[in-house]
Structure 1
Amino acid sequence: MHKSLKSLSLTLLNTDYVQLDHRWNYDNVVSPFSRLYYIDAGNAKIYHSGQEFELRPGYLYLVPSYTYGRYKCDHYLNQYHITFLEKIGDGLSIYNLKAFNYEVKATELDIVNFKRLLEINPNRGLFNPDPKVYDNHPTIISFEERNEEMNSADFLETQGILLSLFSRFITDKNIIPNNDSLTTKKITESVQFIHENLQQTLTVDLLASKSHLNVDYYSRAFKKLFGIRPISYIQIKRIERAQLLLTSTTETIPDIANKTGISNLSYFTRLFKKITGKNPGEFRRHQWRM
């Protein structure tokens, strides 16, 4: 039941305590990392995952990666926040497998954990409250290097706290049905193959063949599980990978296109804009101040 969770990896990017005001109003925020908030005082609103959340003191909030969001604060908001990367195995996201609550009542332990994480990870705050911008930190790599520089005890404690806080939101409801269906297992394995080979040529014929299923049957079964056709899923995951590379590296856009399996730069740009609403260069400029 919990096999997939054993390979869950969380990577800390930022943690801080901030006091925000009416200037904390941002639209079209789509980040390649997740956010956790503990609201200490004040109020604000976040829109994501098709829902509106009123940020209330005494509550925890999760904003998943690659989720379109809007932020609005009319007066003031005091919050502890954490940004982090998450993945399972070689790139699969836990959000593809499990359903989550996005608002939970904070416990005393949660508050202690937020404060302790900040204590053992000093100077890891954002230099700009805009969810789209990290001033003076050009890449995610710099944050990962900070993690490598931590002593062993603080590193392990950080991982434990992240997992503890993250666990407060996960449910036992599976996005992919948790059954013994051979077809479901084959489709799930093919999704893992997609994530591990985004830079390669991927076709429905190839995926169906590896799953030992008829092409039409594979495509229908895939859509039943994920709600979209395999090709659309591959396109979305390739652009998500491109978003991460655009924000975590200084590689050129053509190189990033190749690394996501789209060698035609013109097509890559069109597809990127279709999915994100921005071309790759615009996305990079809005995510980071280089």
Structure 2
Amino acid sequence: MRPFELTAPTTLDAALAGGGTFLAGGTTLVDLMKLNVLTPPRVTDINRIPLRGIETADGLRFGALERMADVAAHPGVYPAISRALLLSASQQIRNMASIGGNLLQRTRCSYFRDVAVPCNKREPGSGCPAVEGANRMHAVLGTSDACVATHASDVAVALVALDAELALAGRAGSRVVELAEFYREPGETPEVENDLRPGELITEVRVPRLDWAANSTYVKVRDRQSYEFALCSAAVALDVRDGRIADARVAAGGVGTVPWRLPRVEAALRGAPVDPAAFETAAALAAEGVRPLSANGFKARLLPRTIVRALLELTEGDR
């Protein structure tokens, strides 16, 4: 790890004025600094800033510094969000990692994390070895010739499905953005991963009130049940009335370069009967547009199956 200057302001204004790379739980940043993937000259510890609190009176609001474990355990948090957090990491990491940091975590692509090899995210224009290399864990949706890395966050998938917004603060003022619009597909600029402007930080996550989101879940398929990143995941919320689906929210993870909302699947589910055949028909639409690589073609089949598994879980008592 290279030398750096560390500051720990106690107010948001002071943190924004001081700049630097912001440190919350450190579960991603410190790892990448040890690997020399990131070498910030100035690190600003923001843990003393009052960006905490969980409110559930009208939708959900939680401060960016809330720890993953605390949000997951809160009784007013929708099941899809809670379950995504619980399946994200070990208990020790959930106790340390912040919600804001989780949403901004960098890809787990092994080429990105190895400074001895090229990576367009790390060094724009250097190339993407994963396109022809070891790519079993990589994306099949939203990819480009410049980057095929998957987005690593589980809870981001659930939050995108539930129309979450982010409150952002910077020296130029505050703004609110939809989480689904916040993330950027790689295109020709894979180093630009989101809409966070220089000097900005996430202050709060907001999820609109959706009463039927109490009937939601997050299914994560991975190589092992212990701490592991998703091969494929699905966040699903259903409004079921009289044996039919009145409304639905569906998003997928582990398959896209960003958390992948699936509006065509949602549209196909609306009005459909609570029936496995209807679920399979709707879920098949999730695989449209996939671009499989040499070692991850199985994800095109796994994605619809994961969605069907989530749908069956949510409707077990309605069939």
Shorter-chain TM-score range:
under 0.3
Larger RCO of the pair (alpha carbons < 8 Å, separation 6+): 1
More strand by share: 1
TM-score, length-scaled by structure 1: 0.27
More helix by share: 1
